[in-house]
Amino acid sequence: MGVDWNTFWPRIVEATGETILMVILTLVFSSILGILMGLLFFVTREGNILQNKYVFNILNLIVNIVRPIPFIILLVAITPITREIVGTTIGTMAAVFPMTIAASFAIARIVENNLISVEPGIIEAAQAMGARPIQIIFGVLIPEALGPLILGLTFITVGLIDFSAMAGTVGGGGLGDLAMSYGYQRFDTSVMVVTVVILILLVQIAQFTGNFLSKAVLRR
Amino acid sequence: MIKFEGVSKVFGTEGKAVQAVKNVTLTVNKGEVFGIVGFSGAGKSTLIRLVNLLERPTSGKVTVNNLEISTISPTELRKLRRGIGMIFQSFNLFNSRTVFGNIAYPLKLAKTNKQEIKRRVKELLQFVGLEDKEDNYPEQLSGGQRQRVGIARALATSPDILICDEATSALDPETTGEILNLLKKINKEYNITILLITHEMHVIRTICDRMAVMENGEVIEEGNVYDIFSDPQSKTTKNFISSVLNDKLSPRLLKKLHENPTVRLYRVIFTGEASSKPILSQVTRKHQIDFNIIYGSINELQEQLFGSLVVEFYGGKSEVDKVVEELSKIVEVREVVHHGS
């Protein structure tokens, strides 16, 4: 079974564009949500600048409920909410919503873990200078943890490329969709190989960019 | 200036509560260098954190500049903290900021304008001797240089109190000396009150005017550094002092010296006036006997001399007794006996 590459290349280009769009949009939305949640996690932790047992425990519970759900199940399970918010359950935008949900919680944990590694004495020094909690968060905590935070977000980005392929299987479009419908369902190995190669390239680019940025921040 | 009145601090809840500070009453006067010495876990670290409310007292009153601080509002607290500089054992510099950025940070918090920040940072860098390092990052500096940055940062907002949390404990002896000189200079030139904690008696001896000794959360001894060095009361204080004065013979050497039964050793302690007069020589010459200084040290403490010497007298028993009697009228004399024989 041959492939008409003349009509096929434009489809690959289009699908690559969809994947990149899904990943970037998800990354932007989930970074905002995830970083906020991660910060809230950190500052409300016992002994920290805004410690609050209730906020911390509720947040912790939510994260621990959502995180273990396999993405493919979450994708299907929250379809009604996706329809409410995005207006449709098919297409690139419909895939971005569940991806954002899943990624936000993962980012929250990564942010929290990276902030814990900031020397408590540095926070204490800022407190002793009379800094407000919000000034400590944005002026001290985030800059101090920025290098590892970027690496954490890079890790998530690579995961999102994987998620996007999965989202493709339920009508999200992108390279995953293409690989499934042509490569898997029509047994066309050559299409599969091309999409896999493109996915590998995307991951390489994401990882390279992340490494470069974190190196620039850490000056090492 | 800084006043603790019956202050206690308890960590944890009932059952596994730890009382870090127990009923401490202490006054630090304006313009002095006050040192608190104690072993780790004595509660000194908690005590100094009560001054800028990094820790809140469980009971008792802490007063800073006539302001009872436990009841103040968050805004007043931030204002109070800007008037109290703090430096730390591990420096706690912001690694993501340059030397300039570190010193500028408290000024930014105080909403100082850019030009003024630039001027002030330059001035501080000059004061601590790091003019050429403003664009370096903390990780590119040595320990002593980092502490200088810490000091410049703590002084940025012109505080009238400086709290030092084991500020020299991570430094080598030479650098420690430099940092202590710098602290003394800050105290003298800017008339900044310094409250420091340390486990090194050497630090107290070098720069403090008054001191307190802490043990198990309590202040067990307090007073003028000279007085405490010359007449320590508690065992802990004595141990701390002998760690810097080198005036104790080892038990083995003492035993060896006492093997000759005619040898009688005396510890002669010179304080104040007596330390600058040839007392030993005068008294022994009068009774025509010789003396030999076996061991001991003479130290400078707050610009006065303090000596503690172990001396052997050569002569008949009656002459030696007379010498000891006469000496006792001027200085403190104690016979050094060999324990355990």
The verdict on A18 touching B (C-beta cutoff 8 Å) is: no
For range B50-69, the mean pLDDT: 93
- Residue A217: closest C-alpha in chain B: B96
Judge residue B146's burial from the number of C-beta atoms within 10 Å of its C-beta, 0-12 exposed, 13-18 middle, 19 or more buried: buried
Q: Which residues of A touch B153 (CB under 8 A)?
A: 129
Q: Which of the 8 DSSP states describes residue B66?
A: T
Q: Report CB contact under 8 Å: B78, A119.
A: no
- Residue A119: closest C-alpha in chain B: B92
The verdict on B285 touching A (C-beta cutoff 8 Å) is: no
Q: Report CB contact under 8 Å: A135, B82.
A: no
H/E stretch holding B307: strand B304-314
Q: Report CB contact under 8 Å: B54, A127.
A: yes
- Nearest CA to B126 among B107, B105, B160, B100? B100
For residue B99, give the amino acid letter: V
- Nearest CA to B43 among B19, B64, B27, B63? B19
- Nearest CA to A78 among A110, A44, A49, A101? A101
Task: Give strand pairing partners of B221.
Answer: B213
Q: How many CA atoms, within 13 angstroms, populate the side-chain half-sphere of residue B307?
A: 21
The whole-chain average pLDDT of chain A stands at 88
Say yes or no to pLDDT of B340 above 70: no
Say yes or no to pLDDT of B341 above 50: no
The whole-chain average pLDDT of chain B stands at 91
Each residue's pLDDT tens digit, B280-339:
899 999 988 889 998 888 888 888 888 889 998 888 888 888 999 999 888 888 888 766
- Nearest CA to A157 among A42, A22, A18? A22
CA distance A60 to chain B (A): 23
Task: Judge contact between B308 and B292, C-beta under 8 A.
Answer: no
For range B192-219, the mean pLDDT: 94
Q: Which of the 8 DSSP states describes residue A139?
A: I
For residue A90, give the amino acid letter: I
E strands in B108-226: 161-165, 193-198, 210-215, 218-224
Amino acid A5: pLDDT: 75
- Of the two residues B170 and A88, the one the predictor is more confident about is B170
**SS3 label, residue A53:** helix
Say yes or no to pLDDT of A141 above 80: yes
- Of the two residues B254 and B154, the one the predictor is more confident about is B154
- Nearest CA to B230 among B329, B300, B283, B295? B300
Planar angle of CA B18, B23, B27, nearest 5 degrees: 130
- Nearest CA to A1 among A194, A199, A188? A188
Each residue's pLDDT tens digit, B12-23:
877 788 899 999
The verdict on B106 touching A (C-beta cutoff 8 Å) is: yes
Interface test with B, best of A117, A119, A129, A149 (most B CBs within 10 A): A129
- Residue A126: closest C-alpha in chain B: B106
Q: Rounded distance, CA B249 to CA B231, Å?
A: 19
Amino acid A179: pLDDT: 81
Report the residue from A121, A135, A143 with minimal CB separation from B109: A135
Q: Which residues of A touch B81 (CB under 8 A)?
A: 127-130
- Give the B window 145-184 contacts with A, CB below 8 Å: 153, 157, 163
- Nearest CA to B211 among B241, B179, B235? B241
Task: Give strand pairing partners of A132.
Answer: none
Give the pLDDT band (50/70/90) at residue A2: low
Q: Which of A70-79, A124-133, B53-62, B181-190 has the lowest mean pLDDT?
A: A70-79
Amino acid A3: pLDDT: 67
SS3 for B79-97, per residue?
HHHHCEEEEECCCCCCCCC
Query: Which residue is associated with the tokens 């500020």?
Result: B167
**Residue B280 Cα distances to B265, B288, B307, B309, B334, angstroms:** 14, 12, 12, 11, 14
Q: How many CA atoms, within 13 angstroms, populate the side-chain half-sphere of residue B275?
A: 17
